[in-house]
Amino acid sequence: MIESSQQEIAELSMTEVKTILDDENFLRACSARLSRPTSEIVSRIQTSLSEAAVGLSLLEGIDLAGKRILEVGAGIGIVSLILHRRGVEVVPIEPGRGGFDPNTQIGILLRERLGIRELVYHSLGAEELRPADHGLFDVIFSVNVLEHIPDLEPAVDAMCKVLKPDGVMCHTCPNYLIPYEPHYGVPLVPFVPRLTALLLPNARGTELWDSLNFVTLGRMRRAFSRRGFDCEFARGAMHKAFVRLDVDERYRERQGSRRIVAVAYGFLRRFGFLRLIASLPPVLATPMTFKVRRKNGTAT
């Protein structure tokens, strides 16, 4: 294990995390530990870096000073690491299901590489959260996690119970009312997306496919409303996803082979329709980005 100096740890930033994750020695160590090809490790890291940027943007405008933060589905744990080094009290949880256990292992190696031991990652799902065991949180957030929780209702219930009365949740995930699956980059059978597996022999029976719950905006709103919470869905989330193709090289590389995204983006941009996407109501857009607060409550 390679130790970092206290000064290096204190100055940890997204740029430095990228430098470590791009290091060939680190990639080889991950490949050896996981017994997986380096190309797969690189792909997982690129996805995690891109999603970490989204996670940090979710928290923009929220005063985190003196607050207790919960990251649901932390994966490699990049956002939690950065928050931790900023002095924020953060608790990352990651069950490692749905084909994401390698991300957990990469995260362990990353923390070893940085010499960080005090940030504890909990191996549990959101549905296992209990106030008596894990305490209460001012802020709960997740990036592309909710669609991987097979039994969503207990998870929503547990997150609501560990949120402080004046707390806020920030989530982003696909809205499967729009028949598109971003992990595989394919259109879905409308209204019965599970049947799409009949057309995807490589997906049938895989841990990733089986983990998908095909959540929709309406289902998400109802799940929180039943527990006394309001969801505020952001307008323009799909527009931002398209714009990222221009500004996020890693995101563009991951989407490049997915023809449905490239063709749609090219068409919208060529004929000047891209801005119209920003005005679509959230229910007709994917992904969905939303904040959750107790009804008649105020988030800090």
Domain boundaries, the chain: 6-175+215-235+281-294
> At 69, which helix (H) or strand (E)?
strand 68-72
Q: What global pTM score does this model have?
A: 0.88
- Taking only the tens place, the pLDDT of each residue in 164-218 is 999 999 999 999 999 999 888 889 999 999 999 988 888 888 888 999 999 999 9
- Taking only the tens place, the pLDDT of each residue in 146-158 is 999 988 999 999 9
Share of the chain above pLDDT 90, in %: 60
- Which two three-digit tokens encode residue 222? 């109802």
| C-alpha–C-alpha distance, residues 74 and 77, integer Å | 5
Q: Look up the CATH superfamily of 6-175+215-235+281-294.
A: Vaccinia Virus protein VP39 (3.40.50.150)
Give yes or no for residue 50 having a pLDDT over 90: no
Calculate mean pLDDT across residues 107-135: 92
Give yes or no for residue 1 having a pLDDT over 60: no
Give yes or no for residue 67 having a pLDDT over 90: yes
Give me the pLDDT at residue 70, please.
Answer: 98
Give me the pLDDT at residue 218, please.
Answer: 97
Give yes or no for residue 299 having a pLDDT over 60: no
Angle at alpha carbon of residue 89, lines to 237 and 2, rounded to 5°? 95
Share of the chain above pLDDT 70, in %: 87
On average, the pLDDT of the chain sits at 87
DSSP state, 66?
Answer: T
In order of 8, 16, 115, 153, the CA distances from 1 in angstroms are 16, 18, 8, 41
Give yes or no for residue 297 having a pLDDT over 80: no
Give me the pLDDT at residue 194, please.
Answer: 92
- Taking only the tens place, the pLDDT of each residue in 209-241 is 999 999 999 999 999 999 999 999 999 888 787
Do the Cβ atoms of 283 and 220 come closer than 8 Å?
A: no
Calculate mean pLDDT across residues 9-23: 77
DSSP state, 122?
Answer: B
DSSP state, 283?
Answer: G
